[in-house]
Chain A
């Protein structure tokens, strides 16, 4: 079985700040990490490899620095890593990105068929959750989003059964392989690779594919040109002027809590208190 995991190197959003004057995101000095959601995808692919054998290929479209992220995936146990990198990809939105990635995965398939494609649920810098579905559509793969568990794969029937978290419950879904899975967070925990994997990752001759190597001829479909998204305006939401107030609970006494709460509400909004008294009397 061959799984391809799409990852993205993102700025650590916990450390990003917005410039107070220009309102733009200040990326300078913010450490780059692997999009945390993608790690759940990678670990799931590695677990399938543990269960059923096969290989795991990690792929990313990004700047040369994304090499660090790929090597890290290799150190977790991925077998191969491909960096799709070309100036022509700069400025890509989700449409152009899914086009480029599906082209690159198409190239991967020329060497070895791809049974499963994994992505994270979404990225923490874009939060669109569009790239995974975009790739599935272009490659004509079945699409399973927000998967929380891979229950089974039937290689004879070429079927996969998964659990998918949905509003108000869990869906048990079965579909045909090949398919693309976007993995939900919190579903597994990334392993601590062993020493052999560390050495392999450090020495791995990374494959870097430019536009041509990724099999893309039409430059109008990639980078800024291939990106219809327009960012109209960027603004920082106003911080709340009032701080939240912590209310201490004594001895788990609900009555006490209710009285305290009401007192706080009434001092802030005397009108509400007046209304209630009026109603009661």
Chain B
């Protein structure tokens, strides 16, 4: 006899776990299927956890979630080949509970989150890949898997299978993801003793630092890099648009190697031992690249639906929130005795529109295109900034007025007056557009 559930959730990442947990809590009969050996084993993230999104799902998550450090300091670096101009923001306010942002290691965190879903009553199968959606006309009625006898039925399938959702594509719900809509990121975890990390980054036990980086390290491509402190390790990574990698014939790995060799980064990693290397896609196409996210008996949550705010490096919180909203839509409709079809599930879209998820994605809808068409934001400006800083800081007998003049002319020479104005406007539009 074929198994039948209320809901099948595909994937045990942030979105899938949020959905499965919420559904199971409400007493629905949930099956969650994950292809990885354990939840989290396939998941790659920087990884910063934004407490707010999780708090709304599991209010007391701080009691037992595997959290590495809470962040008390944010550094932003604009890098040239041998230098950086940076800003730091550090505040004791971030040191007061409840903390707002944490570093996590996804492999551990996802297992914890998934255990919550299981404890709430979700049935979880790992090491099982969903190969196809079962359709009855246009209606999704279940899934097929790579295991013998692996067809399972459900009234609704939530696709939380991450970026480049093959299932949605196979079922014809959306087109192949375009290289200019995804970033390819590589990251490494480097082991360092806890004491070393704390002295190197000027932080106490459980306190953490993030460094966000942009500039020459991405070799002119649209992208950013990051470095976070975990309890006994450092995560660092770099990502650029897939289309740029293709065009420039550079591998992400080369970029990461160069990054680790930057004179400002090398000392932070000195003596460390590489623990883990991973590459992963991040859907950064933004608002204009978003697919349809619901239909007859199906919904999409998380990366699979392009729910990522690339500009602010937010993904996991959108994934959790969309997973939760998808689940709540189903729960509400069930309580009202309504069927789960394309018409009723439109409520999911309404919930999304009403949340920070779509509000933010709409706000930054121009950003991807603006940055894509203006690569000088990633090359010329970092260089100019760094040279300006160098000129100002160096004491060499040149009077300050002349220094300022030379900085100004360097900018004008590189971008022209109109160009500078235009760039300022574009930058403003990327962040402010509504």
Contacts and interface: CB of A to CB of B under 8 A. Distances in A.
B152 A195 contact: yes
Interface stretch (B143-151, B282-290, B292-300, B340-348): B143-151
B149 A21 contact: no
B108 interface: yes
Binding site of A, secondary structure by majority: helix, strand, loop or mixed?
mixed
B193 interface: yes
Interface string A159-201: 0000000000000000000000000000000001111101100
Given A29-B108, A194-B148, A203-B123, A19 B193 contact: yes
Given A202-B123, A203-B123, A17 B191 contact: yes
Contacts of B151: 195
B146 to A, nearest CB: 8
Contact of B128 (A31, A198, A203): A198
A29 B147 CA distance: 30
B107 interface: yes
A193 B147 contact: yes
Interface of A: 15, 17, 19-21, 26, 28-29, 31, 68, 75, 192-196, 198-199, 202-203
Contacts of A194: 147-150
A20 B193 CA distance: 8
B43 interface: no
B98 to A, nearest CB: 24
B332 interface: no
B200 to A, nearest CB: 15
Contacts of B148: 194-195
A270 to B, nearest CB: 35
B191 A198 contact: no
A26 B127 CA distance: 27
A198 B151 CA distance: 12
Contact of B150 (A20, A195, A202): A195
Nearest to B2: A195
Nearest to B33: A198
B108 A21 contact: no
B107 A196 contact: no
B105 interface: yes
Interface in B268-288: 273, 275
Contacts of B123: 199, 202-203
A29 B3 contact: no
Contacts of B193: 19-21
A148 B168 CA distance: 46
Nearest to B271: A20
A179 to B, nearest CB: 32
9 residue pairs, one from A and one from B, having the closest CB atoms: A194-B148, A195-B150, A195-B149, A195-B147, A198-B125, A194-B149, A202-B123, A194-B147, A196-B149
Interface string B101-114: 00001011000000
A196 B152 CA distance: 11
A31 B150 contact: no
Interface string B1-20: 00100000000000000000
Contacts of A26: 232
Contacts of A196: 149
A237 B407 CA distance: 56
Contacts of B125: 198-199, 202
**Of B108, B147, B232, most A-chain CB atoms within 10 Å:** B147
Nearest to B108: A29
Contacts of A68: 38
B238 interface: no
